Structure 1
Amino acid sequence: MFKHVLKTWVWAGIARYPHEYFTPVRLTNIIAFVIIAVSVCQIPSAIWFWQQTGQNQFYITCTTILLLVIVPVLNHFGHYLQAKIWLILVYIADLIATCLLWELDLYIHFFYLLAVVCCPFFFTDKEAKYKWFFSVLFSGLFLTTEVYYQLTLPHQYNPDQQSFKFTSACLLALASLLCSFHIQKNIGRSWKKLAFEKKRSEQLLLNILPTSIAQRLKNSSHLIADYFAQASILFADIQDFTPICKSCTPQQLVKILNEIFCAFDELSLRYGLEKIKTSGDGYMAAGGLPKANSEHAINCCHCALDMQYAFQAISQKYNLKTGLRIGIGCGEVVAGIIGKNKFSYDMWGEAVNLASRMESHGACHRIQTTQSTYDLTKSEFEYVNRGKITVKGIGSVNTYWLLDRKSTISH
């Protein structure tokens, strides 16, 4: 029970906060809880001295605890700056009230210097003015309290000792400010580096997985598997690529493949397809997932035609004696995340197998589609019926060659 309450308290408001700056919010909640814990430890002493000033101290402590409960509540509702300022003001009020109540130099005012050192952890770079304002304020309160004690308490020291004591207090306050400045620089640099690395790691994740799938993977450890009643799958493969590998250096080979696949990536993005994976000289993309799209088949055909044009341009540039086979299929698919360390987003189903066969049983410089793809897109594109071919594991299927966009379509 206590563990659950503590976790809820510490993480209050973090879900609403920009992820690169969640640390100040969490620290604000933690510091509020720590102050409450320290205040609770003061209650037995207040009860022991109840007949003297303990009763008033008890009321101050209880009031402080009740006021600090507001901190995670403010964070929960997104009032992050107000929560920090509220925490600081309650902290200051508690120290001032305690110092005035006991009228003894109990070194309570040294907690102001602790706050000076902690200030850099509370505020982000955008809130630097608050950071420095409260750091200076805490130092000033420390020195003011020190002067107050020297002026109001019975003189225990001669004037020279008092001057030396005040000078030491000034040096201590200055040292705290310098430490705060040094911590601020390092904290700011560390948070920026952390935010950059986090952004880079998320970008790498987005390069592997669709955006919606990556978000689900970050927010949940549950198995990700989705069923799509209608989706289109595109397979593209470079024909006779092995001889090219023998005639090129590794650097040339990777450069050519990278240029081809980068062009395919741009086309997939333009037509709203999701790149699934590359395997050797093969490229796989899909339309209609992870978000359903009624234009998935049409988008796949547009993308396939432009892939042919892009590949022809790159082939002429590097004088490649080869061509591109593309196969497109439509139907039911299951998509999900597989693997643990090097996970991947993949697809399964008869439609995927059939689309793969459309490519492997296709011809160079041609785009072969299934009957279902033809039925969904025949009003938009020019086709010629290839006839029936035998596909292993499926049987005889009717296929079509995708030729071009219809002349009535402006694209």
Structure 2
Amino acid sequence: MYQSPARSATERHILNQIQATTRLVLICLFLQLPFAVYLLLASTPLALFNLSVHCAALGVTYWLCVRQLWRPARDLLLTGFLTFITWATLIWPAGLAIPYFLLLGSVTCGFFFRNSERLPQRVWAVTFASVFVALRIRHIETSHGLYHIVTISNTVLLAVASLLILHCLQTHTSRRWQSMASRQQALQAQLSALLPPFLTTRGNTCEPGQSRPMDSCVVLFADLTGFRQLTDQLGDEGVFALLHTLYRRFDERALHAGIRRIKTNGDEYMAAISPELTGLPEEQTTTLTRQMLSFARGLLHDCEYVAANTDIPVNIRIGVAAGPVRAGVIGNQRSSFDIWGRTVNLASMLEQLCEPNRVLLSDSAYHTLPPLPFNLKRRAVFLPNGPARAWQFTAAAIDALGNCRHNAA
């Protein structure tokens, strides 16, 4: 029956184990070649036949490894090793203690099977141990008395010990794999928290220095006003406590809203939303813009709440723009995820031009919204590529937009 090549990491690992063991056995046979020639000259032609057939079997095993056919290679290696030691014991002098090599096979065969193949692995291990006991008893049947009993008991004890060693090795290896799997899951969870889903799924990894386009993205920049005065008033420790309080609330709100925080820079908070960042099915830009405006309304509310409970004048400016961006991982040391493009630059400029406690929305993002039953303040803004216009939302206007959406639904 056709055997598919090794594909998974476990199968490739087993294949490497089989290939390395085959090389090792071939090297051992080569190093003992002078001794083997001497025994061949002094023994029957069966010894030469045994050595020739099993050397050819090792060659076929290595060829199967090259073809990545790990199952037939494993079966041929184990069968060849068992039959070679058995025939060598029956043909060559008993004093060579050749059967003890079967104990080596009993222990090492456990490394050629997957976790789901425990039954055939145990069958092979017990077979090696049983054949060892049978061959040893055959060569000690000439002894008598206590020596005979001690020899048989030692033989059985060695066979059982080899099986116990294999069991202990497998148990220890299984525990280590479970521990590594747990740590891998924890690291994957941390990575997922740092990177968006489309960069952490298999086949979509992004190396540092690489970037990918996102055609539909809504970007938000938020910045505290009068930050220098706050620093002079509160000091470094006080400002840190204030920013930590605000950003913790911002992050919790972003998590529930399906919005990803990109980064912070002092008192500047940057966030974005797109189908690629959230891992959700493709959404219309209208839905994304509304989600971001609702998030911006939440930021205004958080600043009002912190200001009311700390007696610190916390005011915030927010700029929002929609359009294509590029996303990727930048830097080799402490690499971080970031987004770039004209949409990002526009959101940053709108934040700088915005009035305190207001949200300034780009014209392109505004036109993704349905017609609004109320008037907004339209502002002329001057961008590097020329004059443009933007739309200013107050908290009340965003609430009214939410009510419109609810009534339409």
TM-score range, shorter chain: 0.7 to 0.9
Q: Which residue, out of 400, 405, 409, partners 2:405?
A: 409
With over 3 angstroms needed to count, the CA separation of the structure-2 counterparts of 1:131 and 1:60, relative to structure 1, is closer
Provide the identity percentage. Answer: 20
Structure with the greater alpha carbon radius of gyration: 2
With over 3 angstroms needed to count, the CA separation of the structure-2 counterparts of 1:137 and 1:361, relative to structure 1, is farther
CA distance in 1, matches of 2:218, 2:206: 28
Q: Deviations over 1:65-97 (max 9, x none)?
A: 546766787888xxxxxx4xx666544422332
Q: Which residue, out of 357, 363, 369, partners 2:349?
A: 357
- Which residue of the partner structure matches residue 326 of structure 2? 334
1:276 Cα deviation after fit: 1.6
Q: Which residue, out of 10, 16, 22, partners 1:36?
A: 22
User: What letter is aligned with 1:62?
Assistant: A
User: What letter is aligned with 2:196?
Assistant: P
Q: Deviations over 1:22-42 (max 9, x none)?
A: 4xx444212211333245454
Q: How does 1:282-293 map to 2 (within 5 A)?
A: 282-288=268-274, 290=276, 293=283
CA contact (8 A) 2:208 2:329 kept: no
Q: Does 1:52 align with 2:46?
A: yes
With over 3 angstroms needed to count, the CA separation of the structure-2 counterparts of 1:119 and 1:56, relative to structure 1, is closer
CA distance in 2, matches of 1:99, 1:111: 7
Q: Which residue, out of 391, 396, 403, partners 1:400?
A: 391
1:101 Cα deviation after fit: 2.6
CA contact (8 A) 2:325 2:344 kept: yes
Q: Which shifted more, 276-285 or 127-136?
A: 127-136
Q: Does 1:113 align with 2:103?
A: yes
1:174 Cα deviation after fit: 4.2
- Which residue of the partner structure matches residue 7 of structure 1? none
Q: Which shifted more, 376-385 or 197-206?
A: 376-385
- Which residue of the partner structure matches residue 199 of structure 2? 213
Runs of 5+ unmatched residues, structure 1: 1-10, 77-82
Runs of 5+ unmatched residues, structure 2: none
Q: Deviations over 1:175-207 (max 9, x none)?
A: 434444443444334323322333333333333
- Indicate the SS of the match to 1:284: strand
CA contact (8 A) 1:139 1:173 kept: yes
How many residues are treated as equivalent by the alignment?
A: 379
Q: TM-score, normalised by structure 1?
A: 0.74
Q: How does 1:370-381 map to 2 (within 5 A)?
A: 370-379=362-371
With over 3 angstroms needed to count, the CA separation of the structure-2 counterparts of 1:222 and 1:237, relative to structure 1, is closer
With over 3 angstroms needed to count, the CA separation of the structure-2 counterparts of 1:230 and 1:185, relative to structure 1, is closer
CA contact (8 A) 2:198 2:204 kept: no
CA contact (8 A) 2:225 2:356 kept: yes
CA distance in 1, matches of 2:108, 2:85: 21
- Indicate the SS of the match to 2:359: strand
Q: TM-score, normalised by structure 2?
A: 0.74
CA contact (8 A) 1:288 1:294 kept: no
Q: Does 1:238 align with 2:229?
A: no
- Indicate the SS of the match to 1:336: strand
Q: Deviations over 1:142-188 (max 9, x none)?
A: 3233224435xxx4x55544443333333433443444444344433
Q: Deviations over 1:223-270 (max 9, x none)?
A: 4123344432111223344555553884x7656544533443344344
User: What letter is aligned with 2:48?
Assistant: G
Q: Which residue, out of 308, 315, 318, partners 1:323?
A: 315
User: What letter is aligned with 2:132?
Assistant: F
CA distance in 1, matches of 2:364, 2:236: 42
With over 3 angstroms needed to count, the CA separation of the structure-2 counterparts of 1:347 and 1:122, relative to structure 1, is same
With over 3 angstroms needed to count, the CA separation of the structure-2 counterparts of 1:219 and 1:395, relative to structure 1, is closer
- Which residue of the partner structure matches residue 147 of structure 1? 137
